[in-house]
Chain A
Amino acid sequence: MKLRAERAEFAEAVSWATRTVGARVTLPALSGVLIDAADGRMTCRATDLEVAAEVSIPVQIDEPGKVLLPGRLLSQLVARFPDAPVELSGDADRVEIRCGRATFHVRGMPVGDFPALPEPAEDAAQGIVKADAFSRLVAQVARAASSDEARPVLTGVKLEATGGRIVAAATDSYRLAVRELAWDADVEGEALVPARALQEAAKASSEAGGSITLVLEAGQVSFLFGDRRLTTRLIEGSFPNYSQLLPEGFETSVIVERAALVEALQRVAVVAMGQANTPVTLSFEDGSVDLSAGNQEIGDAAEALPAEIDGDGMAIAFNPAFLLAGLEATGTDRIRIELRDALKPAVLKPQHDPSEDGGTTSTDDFTYLLMPMRVS
């Protein structure tokens, strides 16, 4: 193999592909990035067997070929390359990399050990979403997914595409986040995507900008960003039927400044955080929400802030970390909290005020359902 590439493009391709290369791998080949030079393009591939990354850039090829190089080493090297074209040459077990006056010889791994990567089928259903809207959707929803591997289905984000919309939902059984997004395709399909893979795709999409293409297939989903692609396997199993969890109606609704509530919650929660199962209690009464938390070992804290309350007064306790995550995900200046009683789930929604411009409509269909904590 012999090829010549621009440093910036080469470095970006390598660092993009090596995102899936983990520190601890079960197969040596998984620590590698496969570089395939053919037809005027260099393709870099890497995988951790869950997520596969692929990127292709135009390069000058004198001799086509394939090499499997250690990913971490290669990304460390390219990060320090001088600003000069990069030349790769040699065969599979000894590759010479030259950049400016620097020369490296890197031992390659057997190309045959690298697993065949899944590729989306040509005729698979696909749709286009805006990159910023997609990464925002993931940021809002994925954090509600569980990290407990004991129930794999809860570590995923459910994507459902129907009638020009895509709905993303995640739950760890304590809370549920649901978000809808318009998408430019008349595609019907569903996928249970590992939350970690989806977060990786969101990161890639916010870097790439523009729009991204989602390809939904049986067993896998692919995210296409121009010449780059991430393909992830899906989680098997059935995701809880969350639509039946969303309550109809409420007894009390509260509208409150989100930033003020976040700040007050963070202050009050200092005495609760770090102590497992210490709730923060919110009392809604007479135009005010009173936050309080405490435990016998540390002390207690209280803070009040104004709120528009419609309905009977009520006190309800939450896990402060889960409440905070919901407030942060909701996004608008003011938020709406819908309550039924102290042991039934509360609903957090964005509150759109007429004064806000139309640009925020992309957040209007976010729902964060949060189970309260029982206080003795």
Chain B
Amino acid sequence: MRLLVARCSATYEGRLSSTLSSAVRLVMVKADGCVAIHADVGAYKPVNWMNAPNTLTEGDGEWVVTNPKGERLVITLEEVFEDVAYELDTDRGLTLDGVEKELQELLAEHPDQLEDGLACVQREFRTDLGPVDLLCRDPDGQAVAVEIKRIGEIDGVEQLSRYLERMERDPLLTPVRGIFAATTIKPQARVLAESRGIRCAVVDLDRLRGAEDTNLRLF
């Protein structure tokens, strides 16, 4: 990653033409060849840029970036204030927090948060169509399949319905009922779930985590 802070102007020719008048900007040259000119506003979108693959030719006070499609970005450097380069780690990818996994772990430990008296039998219970998040038994001994989502949407209800249909065929499990658990449940998903006799359970992640609640509880 090469970072250049410079007073510069730029012209782009390609699908359209644009010019940037002279100002102090940040020019980034990434390891894959992408070149981006950033102004001091906006979170992510450069004022001008050229995606890889391209060719950067550094001339005297002028950078020319060309690509096979015939696009051409010319950056005229009037004064360079900073020119540094760092080796960055290869990207590990954005990890959307593992809420579902954490919810599954927490609910496996505290199934009573879904329903009083519920006991967890197995996590990731295997069916022919894939694993259902939790297999539980209620106080009457009835099997309960629990599908856990961060946001409860119709897809999740469909998924649980398929598992339930398969599990019903297992003589050791049948009759099986379902609980659709999520931190929030979309109204359509709730309607669909309830029309199929699947109970919806909204779970509070913070409460499950036992995050310190300054409001003490009676029980």
Contact = CB atoms under 8 A, between A and B. Distances in A.
Interface of A: 26, 149-150, 153, 171, 173-176, 237-238, 240, 245, 277, 279, 319, 343, 345, 369, 371-376
8 contacts: A150-B203, A171-B218, A173-B218, A174-B215, A245-B218, A369-B218, A371-B216, A372-B216
A22 to B, nearest CB: 14
A89 B160 CA distance: 50
B218 A319 contact: no
A257 to B, nearest CB: 27
B202 A149 contact: yes
A235 to B, nearest CB: 12
A237 B117 CA distance: 10
Interface string B194-205: 000000011110
A343 B216 CA distance: 8
A175 B218 contact: yes
Contact of A371 (B116, B204, B212, B217): B217
Given A26-B191, A237-B116, A174 B204 contact: no
A371 B214 contact: no
Contact of B214 (A176, A238, A240, A373): A373
A373 B216 contact: yes
B86 interface: no
Contacts of B204: 150
A26 B201 CA distance: 20
Contacts of B116: 153, 237-238
Given A153-B116, A237-B116, A238-B116, A279 B218 contact: no
Nearest to B194: A26
A173 B217 contact: yes
A373 B214 CA distance: 5
B8 to A, nearest CB: 43
Interface residues of B, number: 15
Contacts of A371: 215-218
Residue in B113, B214, B216, B217 whose Cβ sees the most chain A Cβ within 10 Å: B216
Nearest to A375: B214
A374 B216 CA distance: 7
A319 B203 contact: no
A26 B219 CA distance: 35
Contact of A176 (B113, B213, B218): B218
B14 to A, nearest CB: 51
Nearest to B116: A237
Contacts of A176: 218
Contacts of B212: 374
A150 B202 contact: yes
Contacts of B219: 173, 240, 245
B187 to A, nearest CB: 10
Interface string B62-100: 000000000000000000000000000000000000000
B218 A174 contact: yes
A279 B217 contact: no
A245 B217 CA distance: 11
A226 B3 CA distance: 84
B196 to A, nearest CB: 14
Contact of A174 (B191, B201, B203, B217): B217
A247 B203 CA distance: 31
B209 to A, nearest CB: 15
A345 B215 contact: no
A375 B213 CA distance: 11
Nearest to B204: A150
Given A277-B215, A373-B215, A374-B212, 13 more contacts: A150-B201, A150-B202, A171-B218, A173-B219, A174-B215, A174-B216, A245-B218, A277-B213, A279-B214, A343-B216, A345-B218, A371-B215, A374-B216
Nearest to B217: A173
A188 B116 CA distance: 26
A210 to B, nearest CB: 37
Nearest to B216: A371
Contacts of A173: 217-219
Given A26-B191, A237-B116, A238-B116, A319 B215 contact: yes
Interface in B92-148: 113, 116
Contacts of A277: 213-215
Contacts of A153: 116
Contacts of B216: 174, 343, 371-374
A153 B113 CA distance: 12
Contacts of B203: 150
A175 B214 CA distance: 14
Contacts of B214: 277, 279, 373-376
A277 B215 CA distance: 7
Contacts of A238: 116
A149 B200 CA distance: 10
